[in-house]
Structure 1
Amino acid sequence: MSWRDKRPLKPFEWGFLVLLLAVLLYVAASLWGVVAGALPNLGRALADGEIRFAVGLSLWTTTLSTLLCILIGIPCAYLLAWSRGMGEFGATLMLVGVTRLKTETLPASIYLNISTGDNGMALAAALLLLLLSLAVQGVSRLAGRKGRDL
Protein backbone atom coordinates (compact mmCIF):
# COMPACT_ATOMS: atom_id res chain seq x y z
CA MET A 1 0.00 0.00 0.00
CA SER A 2 1.54 3.30 -1.07
CA TRP A 3 0.84 6.77 0.30
CA ARG A 4 -1.35 7.45 -2.76
CA ASP A 5 -3.82 4.78 -1.66
CA LYS A 6 -4.38 6.36 1.73
CA ARG A 7 -7.67 8.07 2.41
CA PRO A 8 -8.20 11.06 4.72
CA LEU A 9 -9.11 10.44 8.34
CA LYS A 10 -12.79 10.39 9.17
CA PRO A 11 -14.24 11.41 12.53
CA PHE A 12 -14.40 8.69 15.20
CA GLU A 13 -11.59 6.64 13.71
CA TRP A 14 -8.63 5.84 15.96
CA GLY A 15 -6.18 8.02 14.09
CA PHE A 16 -8.55 10.97 14.18
CA LEU A 17 -9.16 10.52 17.90
CA VAL A 18 -5.43 10.36 18.62
CA LEU A 19 -4.90 13.56 16.65
CA LEU A 20 -7.76 15.22 18.47
CA LEU A 21 -6.59 14.21 21.94
CA ALA A 22 -2.91 14.84 21.37
CA VAL A 23 -2.84 18.09 19.42
CA LEU A 24 -6.14 19.96 19.36
CA LEU A 25 -6.36 20.31 23.12
CA TYR A 26 -2.94 21.94 23.07
CA VAL A 27 -4.22 24.51 20.55
CA ALA A 28 -7.18 25.25 22.80
CA ALA A 29 -4.94 25.68 25.85
CA SER A 30 -2.59 27.99 23.94
CA LEU A 31 -5.46 30.09 22.62
CA TRP A 32 -6.91 30.32 26.12
CA GLY A 33 -3.62 31.84 27.28
CA VAL A 34 -3.64 34.27 24.36
CA VAL A 35 -7.18 35.41 25.11
CA ALA A 36 -6.43 35.72 28.84
CA GLY A 37 -3.36 37.82 28.05
CA ALA A 38 -5.37 40.05 25.74
CA LEU A 39 -8.25 40.65 28.16
CA PRO A 40 -7.11 44.15 29.19
CA ASN A 41 -6.78 45.06 25.52
CA LEU A 42 -10.05 43.30 24.77
CA GLY A 43 -11.86 45.36 27.39
CA ARG A 44 -10.45 48.54 25.88
CA ALA A 45 -11.43 47.35 22.41
CA LEU A 46 -14.97 46.61 23.60
CA ALA A 47 -15.20 50.10 25.08
CA ASP A 48 -13.87 51.48 21.81
CA GLY A 49 -16.48 49.31 20.08
CA GLU A 50 -19.23 51.11 21.94
CA ILE A 51 -17.68 54.37 20.79
CA ARG A 52 -17.54 53.01 17.24
CA PHE A 53 -21.23 52.12 17.42
CA ALA A 54 -21.97 55.64 18.63
CA VAL A 55 -20.02 57.08 15.70
CA GLY A 56 -22.02 54.88 13.33
CA LEU A 57 -19.66 52.11 12.24
CA SER A 58 -21.13 48.74 11.36
CA LEU A 59 -21.23 45.64 13.55
CA TRP A 60 -18.76 43.89 11.21
CA THR A 61 -16.17 46.67 11.50
CA THR A 62 -16.53 46.77 15.27
CA THR A 63 -16.24 42.98 15.64
CA LEU A 64 -13.24 42.84 13.32
CA SER A 65 -11.37 45.51 15.26
CA THR A 66 -12.13 43.67 18.51
CA LEU A 67 -10.82 40.36 17.16
CA LEU A 68 -7.58 42.01 16.02
CA CYS A 69 -6.53 42.05 19.69
CA ILE A 70 -5.99 38.27 19.64
CA LEU A 71 -5.07 37.85 15.98
CA ILE A 72 -1.32 37.62 16.64
CA GLY A 73 -1.71 34.74 19.09
CA ILE A 74 -3.61 32.40 16.76
CA PRO A 75 -0.66 31.45 14.49
CA CYS A 76 1.54 31.12 17.59
CA ALA A 77 -0.89 28.64 19.12
CA TYR A 78 -0.96 26.56 15.96
CA LEU A 79 2.84 26.64 15.71
CA LEU A 80 3.11 25.32 19.27
CA ALA A 81 0.53 22.61 18.55
CA TRP A 82 2.32 21.59 15.35
CA SER A 83 5.61 21.33 17.22
CA ARG A 84 4.01 19.16 19.86
CA GLY A 85 2.31 17.02 17.24
CA MET A 86 5.58 16.40 15.42
CA GLY A 87 7.08 14.89 18.53
CA GLU A 88 3.99 13.02 19.69
CA PHE A 89 4.77 9.42 20.42
CA GLY A 90 3.29 8.37 23.73
CA ALA A 91 -0.35 9.19 23.01
CA THR A 92 -0.35 7.21 19.78
CA LEU A 93 1.40 4.28 21.39
CA MET A 94 -0.81 4.19 24.49
CA LEU A 95 -4.21 4.81 22.87
CA VAL A 96 -4.13 2.77 19.66
CA GLY A 97 -0.69 1.23 19.38
CA VAL A 98 1.69 1.77 16.51
CA THR A 99 0.67 -0.07 13.35
CA ARG A 100 2.48 0.41 10.07
CA LEU A 101 0.56 2.60 7.59
CA LYS A 102 -2.37 2.92 9.99
CA THR A 103 -1.38 4.86 13.11
CA GLU A 104 2.25 5.50 12.23
CA THR A 105 3.64 8.96 12.98
CA LEU A 106 7.19 10.06 12.26
CA PRO A 107 8.47 9.43 15.81
CA ALA A 108 6.68 6.07 15.84
CA SER A 109 8.21 5.26 12.47
CA ILE A 110 11.67 5.91 13.90
CA TYR A 111 10.87 3.59 16.80
CA LEU A 112 9.47 0.84 14.57
CA ASN A 113 12.37 0.98 12.14
CA ILE A 114 14.98 0.82 14.90
CA SER A 115 13.18 -2.07 16.59
CA THR A 116 13.08 -4.07 13.34
CA GLY A 117 16.71 -3.29 12.54
CA ASP A 118 16.08 -1.00 9.56
CA ASN A 119 18.42 1.79 10.65
CA GLY A 120 18.49 3.42 7.21
CA MET A 121 14.74 4.07 7.23
CA ALA A 122 14.92 5.23 10.85
CA LEU A 123 17.62 7.73 9.90
CA ALA A 124 15.58 8.92 6.90
CA ALA A 125 12.50 9.46 9.09
CA ALA A 126 14.60 11.29 11.70
CA LEU A 127 16.13 13.55 9.04
CA LEU A 128 12.69 14.27 7.58
CA LEU A 129 11.41 15.20 11.04
CA LEU A 130 14.44 17.41 11.60
CA LEU A 131 14.12 19.16 8.23
CA LEU A 132 10.40 19.83 8.72
CA SER A 133 11.04 21.29 12.16
CA LEU A 134 13.91 23.46 10.92
CA ALA A 135 11.80 24.75 8.02
CA VAL A 136 8.94 25.78 10.31
CA GLN A 137 11.30 27.43 12.78
CA GLY A 138 13.06 29.26 9.93
CA VAL A 139 9.79 30.63 8.57
CA SER A 140 8.83 31.70 12.08
CA ARG A 141 12.12 33.55 12.57
CA LEU A 142 11.93 35.23 9.16
CA ALA A 143 8.41 36.42 9.90
CA GLY A 144 9.57 37.76 13.28
CA ARG A 145 12.53 39.60 11.72
CA LYS A 146 10.33 41.45 9.28
CA GLY A 147 8.25 42.83 12.11
CA ARG A 148 5.38 40.38 11.78
CA ASP A 149 4.50 38.14 14.67
CA LEU A 150 3.92 34.50 13.89
Structure 2
Amino acid sequence: MRRIGQLQADIVAIERRLSQQLRQSSACKAVAEIPGVGLMTATAVVSSMGSPTAFKDGREFAAWIGLVPRQTGTGGRVRQLGISKRGDAYLRTLLMHGARAIVRSDRATTWPWLAALLKRRPYSVAVAAVANKIARTIWAVLARGQEWRATSWQAA
Protein backbone atom coordinates (compact mmCIF):
# COMPACT_ATOMS: atom_id res chain seq x y z
CA MET A 1 0.00 0.00 0.00
CA ARG A 2 2.92 2.29 0.77
CA ARG A 3 4.34 1.68 -2.76
CA ILE A 4 0.98 2.55 -4.35
CA GLY A 5 0.84 5.74 -2.32
CA GLN A 6 4.36 6.62 -3.46
CA LEU A 7 3.44 5.98 -7.11
CA GLN A 8 0.41 8.24 -6.80
CA ALA A 9 2.57 10.97 -5.28
CA ASP A 10 5.04 10.58 -8.16
CA ILE A 11 2.21 10.87 -10.69
CA VAL A 12 0.97 14.06 -9.04
CA ALA A 13 4.49 15.54 -9.12
CA ILE A 14 4.93 14.68 -12.80
CA GLU A 15 1.54 16.15 -13.71
CA ARG A 16 2.46 19.32 -11.81
CA ARG A 17 5.69 19.65 -13.82
CA LEU A 18 3.84 19.03 -17.09
CA SER A 19 1.23 21.68 -16.29
CA GLN A 20 4.03 24.11 -15.43
CA GLN A 21 5.63 23.37 -18.80
CA LEU A 22 2.26 23.93 -20.48
CA ARG A 23 1.89 27.34 -18.83
CA GLN A 24 5.43 28.43 -19.78
CA SER A 25 5.56 27.25 -23.38
CA SER A 26 3.64 29.27 -25.96
CA ALA A 27 3.75 26.32 -28.38
CA CYS A 28 2.15 24.01 -25.81
CA LYS A 29 -0.52 26.61 -25.07
CA ALA A 30 -1.35 26.98 -28.77
CA VAL A 31 -1.59 23.22 -29.29
CA ALA A 32 -3.69 22.72 -26.15
CA GLU A 33 -6.41 24.95 -27.66
CA ILE A 34 -7.19 22.28 -30.29
CA PRO A 35 -10.08 19.96 -29.38
CA GLY A 36 -8.90 16.49 -28.41
CA VAL A 37 -5.51 17.77 -27.25
CA GLY A 38 -4.89 17.97 -23.54
CA LEU A 39 -1.97 18.43 -21.20
CA MET A 40 -0.16 15.19 -21.98
CA THR A 41 -0.71 15.34 -25.73
CA ALA A 42 0.38 18.98 -26.04
CA THR A 43 3.59 18.53 -24.09
CA ALA A 44 4.42 15.19 -25.77
CA VAL A 45 3.88 16.53 -29.31
CA VAL A 46 5.88 19.70 -28.75
CA SER A 47 8.78 17.85 -27.15
CA SER A 48 8.83 15.02 -29.71
CA MET A 49 8.32 17.11 -32.82
CA GLY A 50 11.32 19.37 -32.40
CA SER A 51 11.07 21.93 -35.18
CA PRO A 52 7.76 21.90 -37.06
CA THR A 53 9.54 23.16 -40.16
CA ALA A 54 11.35 19.82 -40.37
CA PHE A 55 8.14 18.52 -41.97
CA LYS A 56 7.12 19.97 -45.33
CA ASP A 57 3.39 19.72 -44.59
CA GLY A 58 0.82 18.33 -42.21
CA ARG A 59 0.52 15.04 -44.09
CA GLU A 60 4.22 14.37 -43.63
CA PHE A 61 3.87 15.04 -39.90
CA ALA A 62 0.84 12.73 -39.70
CA ALA A 63 2.83 10.08 -41.58
CA TRP A 64 5.69 10.49 -39.09
CA ILE A 65 3.22 9.65 -36.32
CA GLY A 66 1.72 6.79 -38.34
CA LEU A 67 -1.77 8.17 -38.96
CA VAL A 68 -1.92 8.11 -42.76
CA PRO A 69 -3.25 5.20 -44.82
CA ARG A 70 -0.81 2.71 -46.27
CA GLN A 71 -0.94 2.63 -50.04
CA THR A 72 -0.31 -0.15 -52.49
CA GLY A 73 -0.96 -0.28 -56.17
CA THR A 74 -0.16 -1.65 -59.54
CA GLY A 75 -1.06 -0.65 -63.06
CA GLY A 76 -2.03 2.86 -62.06
CA ARG A 77 -4.58 1.71 -59.51
CA VAL A 78 -3.81 2.79 -55.95
CA ARG A 79 -5.48 1.08 -52.99
CA GLN A 80 -5.54 2.71 -49.58
CA LEU A 81 -5.32 0.35 -46.64
CA GLY A 82 -5.47 0.98 -42.87
CA ILE A 83 -3.24 3.42 -41.03
CA SER A 84 0.44 2.61 -41.33
CA LYS A 85 1.29 2.43 -37.59
CA ARG A 86 4.96 3.02 -38.42
CA GLY A 87 5.53 6.15 -36.37
CA ASP A 88 5.58 7.14 -32.74
CA ALA A 89 3.18 4.75 -31.01
CA TYR A 90 2.83 6.96 -27.92
CA LEU A 91 1.82 10.08 -29.86
CA ARG A 92 -0.49 8.03 -32.08
CA THR A 93 -2.18 6.57 -28.99
CA LEU A 94 -2.65 10.00 -27.41
CA LEU A 95 -4.11 11.43 -30.62
CA MET A 96 -6.42 8.44 -31.10
CA HIS A 97 -7.74 8.83 -27.54
CA GLY A 98 -8.31 12.53 -28.12
CA ALA A 99 -10.09 11.81 -31.40
CA ARG A 100 -12.24 9.18 -29.72
CA ALA A 101 -13.26 11.76 -27.11
CA ILE A 102 -14.29 14.17 -29.88
CA VAL A 103 -16.29 11.54 -31.76
CA ARG A 104 -18.11 10.41 -28.61
CA SER A 105 -18.87 13.98 -27.47
CA ASP A 106 -21.74 16.20 -28.56
CA ARG A 107 -19.50 17.69 -31.25
CA ALA A 108 -20.31 14.69 -33.41
CA THR A 109 -23.77 16.18 -33.87
CA THR A 110 -22.85 19.88 -33.97
CA TRP A 111 -20.06 19.59 -36.54
CA PRO A 112 -21.68 18.67 -39.89
CA TRP A 113 -18.50 17.19 -41.40
CA LEU A 114 -18.10 14.83 -38.46
CA ALA A 115 -21.74 13.75 -38.54
CA ALA A 116 -21.44 13.07 -42.29
CA LEU A 117 -18.21 11.12 -41.74
CA LEU A 118 -19.86 8.93 -39.10
CA LYS A 119 -22.77 8.20 -41.47
CA ARG A 120 -20.58 6.93 -44.28
CA ARG A 121 -17.64 5.31 -42.43
CA PRO A 122 -17.30 2.87 -39.50
CA TYR A 123 -16.64 4.28 -36.04
CA SER A 124 -12.96 3.27 -35.87
CA VAL A 125 -12.25 4.68 -39.32
CA ALA A 126 -13.83 7.98 -38.30
CA VAL A 127 -11.73 8.08 -35.13
CA ALA A 128 -8.54 7.53 -37.18
CA ALA A 129 -9.60 10.27 -39.61
CA VAL A 130 -10.21 12.73 -36.77
CA ALA A 131 -6.82 11.82 -35.23
CA ASN A 132 -5.21 12.51 -38.62
CA LYS A 133 -7.02 15.86 -38.76
CA ILE A 134 -5.80 16.74 -35.25
CA ALA A 135 -2.20 15.88 -36.20
CA ARG A 136 -2.37 18.04 -39.34
CA THR A 137 -3.89 20.87 -37.33
CA ILE A 138 -1.12 20.62 -34.73
CA TRP A 139 1.46 20.93 -37.48
CA ALA A 140 -0.32 23.93 -39.02
CA VAL A 141 -0.60 25.72 -35.67
CA LEU A 142 3.08 25.19 -34.84
CA ALA A 143 4.58 25.68 -38.30
CA ARG A 144 2.60 28.79 -39.19
CA GLY A 145 2.49 30.30 -35.71
CA GLN A 146 -1.27 30.78 -35.91
CA GLU A 147 -3.95 30.09 -33.36
CA TRP A 148 -6.47 27.30 -33.85
CA ARG A 149 -9.63 28.53 -35.57
CA ALA A 150 -12.88 26.70 -34.95
CA THR A 151 -14.41 28.10 -38.14
CA SER A 152 -11.87 26.36 -40.35
CA TRP A 153 -12.65 23.00 -38.70
CA GLN A 154 -16.40 23.41 -39.04
CA ALA A 155 -16.11 24.25 -42.73
CA ALA A 156 -13.98 21.21 -43.53
Q: TM-score, normalised by structure 2?
A: 0.26
* Structure (1 or 2) with the greater helix fraction: 1
Structure scoring higher RCO (CA < 8 A, sep ≥ 6) equals 2
